[in-house]
Amino acid sequence: MISGSIVALVTPMNADGGVDWAALERLLELHIEAGTGAIGAVGTTGESATLSVPEHCEVIKFCVDSVAGRIPIMAGTGANATREAIELTRAAADAGADCCLLVTPYYNRPTQRGLYAHFRAVADAVDVPQILYNVPGRTAVDMDNEVVAELATHRNIVGIKDATGDRERGRDLIARCGDEIAVYSGDDPTAMDLMLAGGKGNISVTANVAPRQMAQLCALATAGDREGASAINELLTPLNSALFLEANPIPVKWAMAQQGLIGEGIRLPLIVLDEQYHADVRAALEAAGV
């Protein structure tokens, strides 16, 4: 089972929007050295919405080959069309990804039964471990915990990323199906509480800029060390907020550029962080010691 800090990795880009493969390789090495538990490739933070299908698959294959089994690769393969989600999931499995992360279908707003049918179809079609991903703030669809519990009985569904930020709801998820699947946080501000309640880790935006600190926080929280985890969480709290001053991944890519980790490349319709937020993000980085 994957546990701990799972970085929701950015996809570094050149000024023209092309993937910066050299920077991507450096980021992978940085996370391995920093103690990150797994790489989350081509999710929301990785700009999956603006990568073409061939690029999407190429980034996943690059991550698998570069990491070479040293830590797991969690490949983002969700789509709002079930056939496309199956295609991406199959490609990730063929590339050697350890598991796939599937977001709820965005924009078309399926019913709860439609969500069940969608995820069941992907799980039936591709024999690879799959993690559900509920992020209603981005998708305009919210999957009920009851549906998650039904899906948890499928042998290929092994986890859920809960990015609702609702602590009570997260605890209910763990109570309902925490013995069958892993429950991961997808919300940095509330991740510590979910892990202390039995969550297995955090699929984290903040880990991009503070990988060591997030790895330590997750290790302490999943071990039940509230005092130790809280001390690190307090340092990261301003950063968790600053990285969402504009839509993710705008702030985190700008912050990483300030750290010298990547260039400022980002794809339209997203653009570089507005200057009015620069001081706030810099201050949060300094407060976190990064």
**Residues with catalytic function:** 133, 161
Residue keyed to tokens 């559900």? 132
Question: Which DSSP letter does residue 111 get?
Answer: -
- Alpha-carbon span 252 to 244, nearest angstrom: 8
User: Count of CB atoms within 10 A of residue 255's CB?
Assistant: 27
Burial state string for 224-236 with b = 16 or more CB within 10 A and e = fewer than 16 = eeeeebeebbebb
User: Count of CB atoms within 10 A of residue 18's CB?
Assistant: 11
- Alpha-carbon span 144 to 50, nearest angstrom: 28
Q: Are 40 and 237 in contact (CB under 8 A)?
A: no
103-to-14, 211, 261, 281 alpha-carbon distances in Å = 27, 24, 27, 28
